[in-house]
Structure 1
Amino acid sequence: MTKPVRNPTEPLRTRHVFLDTEVYRRAGFNISNTPFALLATQIKDGRVILHVTDITLAEIQRQLKEAAQAAAAEAKRLTRDFNRIAQLTGEDNVTVRDVDGPALGERAWAGFIDALVKRLRSQTVPALEIPARAVFDRYFAGTPPFDRRGSKEFPDAFVVEALVRYCNNNDVSMYVVSGDAALRRAAAECDALLPLERIEDILAAATAEAGGDLEAIADDIFAAPGFDDQLTAAIQADLDFVDFTYYGSLSDVSILGGELDEVISVDGYDVAAFDDTKIGLILQANTILTVRLHYVDETELRDKDDDIIPTESETSVHTHARLKVYVSIDLRTLRFMETELLTRDLIVE
Structure 2
Amino acid sequence: GRIIIRLTNKEQMKSKFELILKNIFGIANFSFAIESKQDIKILQEDCWNLIKNEKFKTFRVTTQRSEKNYPLTSQQVNEKVGDYICKKLEKDVRPVKFARSGAKQFNRVNLKNPDINCFIEIVDKQAFIYLEKIDGPGGMPVGTSGKALVLLSGGIDSPVAAYYMLKRGVRTDFIHFHSTSPASVGKVKELAKIINKFQLNSKIFIIPFTEIQKEIMAQTPPKLRVIFYRRVMLKIAEAIANKEKYLVLVTGEAVGQVASQTLENIAVIEDAVHPHTNLVNKSLLNKKTTTDKNNRIGVGVYIPVLRPLIGFDKEEIINKAKEIGTYETSILPHEDCCTRFIPKHPETRAKLTEVKEAEKNLNVEKLVKEAIKNYNSEKL
Highest Rg: 1 or 2?
Answer: 2
TM bucket normalised to smaller: under 0.3
Q: TM-score, normalised by structure 1?
A: 0.21
TM-score after normalising by structure 2: 0.20
Bigger proportion of residues as strand: 1
